[in-house]
Chain A
Amino acid sequence: MRRRHILAGLGAMVAGGCAKVADSRAGRSLFDAAERWHHSAHRLLTGRDALAAEFDRSQISPSFRGNGSQKVDTPAYAMAEGNGFADWRLTVSGLVEHPLSLTLDNLRRLPQRTQVTRHDCVEGWSAIGEWTGPRLAMILRGAGLLPQARFIVFRCADTLDGAAYYESIDLIDAFHPQTIVAHLLNGEPLPVKNGAPLRLRVERQLGYKHAKYLTGIEVVASLASIGEGRGGYWEDRAEYQWYAGI
């Protein structure tokens, strides 16, 4: 009997202690440090340009699950969808020499990369699809980064619970050979649930980094003044890890 009380006490201590640690500033910075160590270890052990696995077309999953925002509930988006996104613009702004405003046609005319990759959701599931689009590196080189540039922020048309979705990556991931702005999934224009007309593919990170419904690419020196400063919608909202390679 005594032992059972001790066990129950230990359990409560673990749970109570964990809640205290997680809410404290020290606990928070410990979590952030562990995340940075994973990030550095991954970069160190694999090399910054190591490729995510690419698959054969025969391995594509029979459908591609949509998650998070699966549509954009604005009249502007409905109209854009109605005319095949002919007037959709992807702006490139911030710390660049030449700000850009690109149409889908502009993007389709750039050299394309097609890759059959696996999409891993933070929840645990995976799907395989074939993505096509220009490399982000090419777009950024076209705009010309200023020397202070450190991060790329992705602006999206969708909102979740009243806040605009956004995401960000560092320059290493931005210039990774498999990081593309996709406009085709399995050879077809992106379905709405998967981010029509444009979505980011950043293949060495989890799904929430792959911003959908892209409207803008912003080059910045720091993430501190963007949103609540943690680098993304889920990072701000629920303290998801900014580095999502794990």
Chain B
Amino acid sequence: MKRHALSTRIWHWLNLACLVILFMSGLNISNAHPRLYWGEWGFAVSHAWLELPRFPGWMTIPGRYSLAEARSWHLLAAWPFALGLAFLWIVMLVNNHFRRDLLTRRREWRWPAIRADLAAHLRFDFTHGEGKFNLLQKLAYGVVLGVLLPGMILTGLGISPGIEPLVRPLIDLVCGRQSMRSLHFILAWSLFVFLLLHVALVLLSNPVRQMRDMITGGRDAP
């Protein structure tokens, strides 16, 4: 059996491409009004809970300030991003990847097991026993696949007036559209932090094999 299913690998790289475009065009859009508010409305400095820096051209798509073109990129990449995530979830549920590899087991939640897992990570020892992922990996991937990525889509819908009638209960839940916009921003940077951790851990645990396996599929350890 392959270490990574073909569906996982296709989604992984498609999703990376989408996230890069969405994040960098998002920073360009942020430059149009670099303040975040809580609640339903907000437009002045005095309403803001956070004033953002102006993100430089090398961090944005396009590389100069253009709200219109950045929105074109953002709204285009949103489609493969959202459809890709839906595809991955359907496949994960159908081919048992979710239940077999990502769902945590009760015994993993016992303190000695958690402590052993943490200690191993702190020693940079990434060999794990049974199962494909250890508890910390399951939690990280679970949060990304179940909270951060769907959260990006839901908060994106929540700031779009055209689709608002459909998602109004969610907007009410977070106290308004400007809260949605703040959350969209917070979730985006949370994903960026995940990306840094993810890349760092790959670099620390046989990066050549990890990259090769995510492209070719690799082989499961016997």
Chain A: residues with CB nearer than 8 A to chain B? 11, 14-15, 18-19, 22, 30-31, 34-35, 37-39, 41-42, 45-47, 50-53, 55, 59, 61, 65, 118, 120-128, 203-206, 234, 238-241, 243-246
Contact = CB atoms under 8 A, between A and B. Distances in A.
Contacts of B178: 125-126
The 6 closest A-B CB pairs, nearest first, are A245-B162, A50-B165, A124-B33, A125-B43, A123-B33, A42-B162
A151 B182 CA distance: 35
Interface of B: 20-21, 24, 29-30, 32-33, 35, 37, 40-44, 58, 61-63, 66-69, 71-73, 75-76, 78-79, 159-166, 168, 171, 177-178, 181
Contacts of A30: 76
Nearest to B71: A241
Nearest to B79: A34
A124 B181 CA distance: 8
B162 A65 contact: no
A164 B73 CA distance: 28
B40 A126 contact: yes
A11 B58 contact: yes
B39 to A, nearest CB: 9
Contact of A18 (B33, B35, B62): B62
Contacts of B181: 124
Contacts of A15: 58, 61-63
Given A34-B79, A59-B40, A118-B40, A52 B71 contact: no
A14 B24 contact: yes
Contacts of A204: 161-162, 164-165
A52 B67 contact: no
Nearest to B177: A126
A11 B60 CA distance: 10
Given A125-B37, A246-B162, 6 more contacts: A45-B166, A53-B171, A125-B42, A126-B40, A206-B161, A243-B162
A203 B168 CA distance: 14
A53 B164 contact: yes
B164 A35 contact: no
A41 B167 CA distance: 13
B20 A14 contact: yes
Given A65-B44, A239-B72, A118 B162 contact: no
Contact of A125 (B33, B62, B165): B33
A120 B40 CA distance: 10
A14 B32 contact: no
